[in-house]
Structure 1
Amino acid sequence: MNQITQTDPADAILIPARRGVAAYVQAGQTVTVINTHGSQVVDTWAYNAKDMGEFMSMEHTRAAILTLLPKEGDVFTTNKRQPILTVVEDTTPGIHDTLIAACDCHRYRQLGAVGYHDNCTDNLHQALEAIALESTATPSPLNLFMNVPVENDGTLSFLPPVSKPGQFISLRAEQDIVIVLSACPQDMVPVNNMIPTEAHFKIR
């Protein structure tokens, strides 16, 4: 693991608390996602900019990298088994989630929410709509900074992130992509330490 460093969000793009943002990224550019306050999960999707039917797939990536916890040098792959993002730097303790589906209205209803609750599934589609794109499905996201430990008996639990304010992960685009980032609004289990906040990102 790298020595802990921080990056200044002052010149970065805001991911508003409980909302999502989409952006175009060219092959070779790097997306740096900053956990501004240290306690925020950022659901992350990437699509082939030329074919929205091809997208980053956690299922296919796990088969390629043979681990649940991506580390520097690991390559995320698409549902067509092509490289799409590579981890080039990670100043966090390296705890990210590749298992859990994006939160949605059904999840919050099961948790006891009354009325509408912001959710990452809607954030994905609204962010794409804002740049005149559409995804017919909701792929399972890369949940950056999300802490879902797998116990020896196979059980899972939801815990607060272990990253510190300002820590970040940088991902290099291996093709022209559309990236979508959602500052997860989950406040009914402790994945955001029960207090969803903003996050930031940079494209270089």
Structure 2
Amino acid sequence: MTQPDARLTEAAYQGAALQVDQEFYGRIGAATERRTVVEELRVPIRSGRAWEVPAGHVCRISTVEGPQVGDLNLWNRHNPRERFWAARTRQLQAAHVTTFDRLWSNLPFLRPMATIVGDTLAGYGVDAEGGRLHDTLGTRCDPYVSKMLNGVDFDFHCHSNLVRAVLPWGLTEFDVHDVLNVFQCTGLNDDDEYFMKTCPATPGDHFEFFAEQDLLVALSACPGGDLSKPMFGPGVTDPVEICHPLDVTVYRLDDELVEGWAEPVSPDYRGAHGLRHQPWS
């Protein structure tokens, strides 16, 4: 049997810009005693919250009462045109992210917004069906697809939860974007179709990231809860009994932990996309 050429299946995107200082970020993730809590909040079931994470701080998302999926959005706090780019993160990092992976922003900014420094479920790996955790494959559930597939109006999908969360910050539905599905177990089946499995998180599991710039963060507690019941299709019933809240903690780090760190910069591209502007005649 002919063996596949490894060169054809290696990562398409490679380069020094994708290298991460694992010693630096590993120290931040490990030195939890060198942190100070600056904010704590709870995201109740089927709701969303938004909050700030200053550059150089760590944000932790935790399960508290049971398994629960959360849909995460990120914006630059000072310029919300810069926001999390799930598709490029999927290409530069992985379809499912964990410790030392970075969450990248959209064009023309294209720089790390956050670096993952803690994941208590990192050992989950790949299960028998090909499921993995913390995915950038799928996006948020929304009331439009619910109406299309289920024929009902429902106001507490992740898209709507995120919309309500960011309105007080001056953002709108048009600012909500493709998400990182925290604690969600997903994959592609033999027909290359997206599937979702029951969330394996237990109370006390957490996922945390280091803010590479001043961030506005929004999180929805998914109305599907732990996703152990289907959300779409004929005969679907409301799975409210499998929904749980999520806790959020923002930490300031000891100065020594972030010594030498600097906010990432965007690529210095000045080609103007091949356009040459002519003076007005």
Structure-2 separation of matches of 1:113 and 1:30:
41
1:169 equivalent in structure 2: 207
- Structure 1 residue 138 displacement after superposition: 2.6
1:129 is aligned, of 154, 163, 167, to 167
Letter in 1 for 2:63: N
Instruction: Give the aligned partner of residue 75 of structure 1.
Output: 102
Work out the percentage of aligned pairs sharing the same amino acid.
Answer: 27
Query: Does structure 1 residue 25 correspond to structure 2 residue 53?
Result: yes
Per-residue displacement from partner, 1:51-109 (whole Å, max 9, x unpaired)?
Answer: 111101111111211x2111211111000311101100100236111111211111212
**SS of the residue 1:60 aligns to:** helix
State the TM-score, normalizing by the size of structure 1.
Answer: 0.85
Preserved contact between residue 96 and residue 137 of structure 2 (Cα < 8 Å): no
| Distance in 1 between residues matched to 2:135 and 2:189, nearest whole Å | 14
Q: Structure 2: where are the runs of 5+ without partners?
A: 1-28, 30-38, 126-132, 232-238, 252-281
Q: How many residues are paired up?
A: 194
Contact 1:60–1:77 at 8 Å: present in 2 too?
A: yes
- One-letter code of the match for 1:69? H
For the 8 Å contact 1:14–1:198, the answer to whether it is kept is: yes
Cα distance in 1 between the residues matched to 2:199 and 2:230: 7
Whichever structure has more helix as a proportion of its residues is 2
Q: Which residue matches 1:198?
A: 245
Q: Deviations over 1:16-72 (max 9, x none)?
A: 11000000110011110002234211100110111111101111111211x211121
| In 1: Cα distance, 2:166 partner to 2:176 partner | 12
- 4+ residue runs over 3 A deviation: 131-135, 189-194
User: TM-score normalised to the size of structure 2?
Assistant: 0.63
Cα distance in 2 for residues equivalent to 1:162 and 1:151: 19
- The structure with higher relative contact order (CA 8 Å, sep 6+) is 1
Per-residue CA deviations over 1:101-131 (Å, capped at 9, x if unaligned) read 2111112123425333411111112111123
Question: Aligned pair in 2 of structure 1 residues 64, 166: CA closer, same or farther (>3 Å)?
Answer: same
CA distance in 2, matches of 1:180, 1:115: 23
Distance 2:163 2:137 in 1: 20
Structure 1 residues 154, 116: CA separation in 2 closer, same or farther (over 3 Å shift)?
closer
* Inter-partner Cα distance in structure 2 for 1:75 and 1:61: 7
